[in-house]
Structure 1
Amino acid sequence: MIRKAILSDIDKALLITKACAREMIHNHIYQWNDAYPNKKAFETDFNRDEFYVLEHNNTVIGCITISTFMDAEYHDVPWLTPNDNNLYVHRLAVHPEHQNKGYANELMQYAETFARKNNFNSVRLDTFSQNQKNLSFYEKRGYKRLSEIYFERQSAYPFYCYELVL
């Protein structure tokens, strides 16, 4: 079940993203670290009412941010649709113990359905260029790779911007 997060879900999401970061680092994917994702990001998501969690057997096992806010890093991206009616996905995570069971698909389907029901033009996101699993995941869902952005506190490698036109 996917639901809006409550305040206590922030710490649960941090545990999930830290577990994901450890798993990625173990696999030589340096996408997330101690600086990101962080509590401040989840608090901002929560305060904007854009933070969702996935529960399985009464345990939070995943999270996603579905936002209407366009981050400054995205302003120079050559998006496929105008910048006035779009959703942005951030901090999608499923605890490593629950990965490869379709939960990330469930979270993305929720975001895409939300976007369609609310007449958004597209869903936009970025993902790490060195994470082949994520690149394939979004491309199989029909997302188009557009350009690169950099988050130097996370990695010297670029992040690819993607958009799904609805």
Structure 2
Amino acid sequence: MIRKARAQDIDAIITITKACAKYMVSKEIFQWNEHYPNRAAFQKDFDRAELYVMELHENTIGCITLSTLMDAEYTPIHWQTKNSNNLYIHRLAVHPEFQGQGFAQKLMDFAEAFAKNHNFESIRLDTFSQNERNQNFYERRNYKQLGEIYFPKQSKKPFYCYELVL
């Protein structure tokens, strides 16, 4: 089940994202670290009512943020649609113990249905240039890679921006 996050979910979300960061580092993917994602980011997502969690047998196993705000880092990208009616996906995570079972697909299905039901023109997101698994995941869902941006606190390597026109 996917639902809006509650304040008490943030601890579980931090546990999930720390486990994901540790797992990625073990695969030599240095996408998440001690700076990101962090409690402040999830608190802001929660305060804006943009944070969702996935539960399995009453345990939180994943999360996703669905935002209408475009980060400043996205400004130089030549998007396929105007910057006016877009949904942005951030901080998609599934605990490593539950990865490979289709839960990320379900979170994305939820996000895409949400975007269509709210008449967004497109969905935009970014993923780390060194995370080929994520790139393939989004490309199989017909997201188009459009350019790269940088988050210096996370990595010296770029993040690729993707868009799906609805």
Mapped partners of 1:128, 1:9: distance in 2: 26
How far apart are 1:52 and its partner, in Å?
A: 0.1
Alignment-derived partner of residue 119 in structure 2 = 119
How far apart are 1:76 and its partner, in Å?
A: 1.2
Mapped partners of 1:43, 1:157: distance in 2: 27
Mapped partners of 1:76, 1:34: distance in 2: 27
Alignment-derived partner of residue 29 in structure 2 = 29
Mapped partners of 1:78, 1:44: distance in 2: 27
Mapped partners of 1:95, 1:103: distance in 2: 10
Alignment-derived partner of residue 46 in structure 2 = 46
Q: Mapping of 1:99-118 within 5 angstroms?
A: 99-118=99-118
Alignment-derived partner of residue 77 in structure 2 = 77
Deviations 1:80-122, CA, capped at 9 Å, x for gaps: 0000000000000000000000000000000000000110000
Corresponding letter in the other structure for 1:69: L
Deviations 1:54-89, CA, capped at 9 Å, x for gaps: 000100000000000111101111000000000000
* Count of equivalent residues: 166
User: Superposition RMSD on alpha carbons, in Å?
Assistant: 0.4
Q: Mapping of 1:1-166 within 5 angstroms?
A: 1-166=1-166
Structure 1 runs (4+) greater than 6 angstroms displaced: none
How far apart are 1:18 and its partner, in Å?
A: 0.2
Mapped partners of 1:19, 1:151: distance in 2: 21
Mapped partners of 2:121, 2:151: distance in 1: 26
Corresponding letter in the other structure for 1:73: E
Mapped partners of 1:124, 1:61: distance in 2: 23
Corresponding letter in the other structure for 2:103: Y
Deviations 1:117-150, CA, capped at 9 Å, x for gaps: 1100000000000001000000000000000000
Show structure 2 runs of 5+ residues with no match: none
**Identity percentage of aligned residues:** 61
Corresponding letter in the other structure for 2:7: L
Mapped partners of 1:66, 1:105: distance in 2: 15
Structure 2 residue matching 1:136: 3-state secondary structure: helix
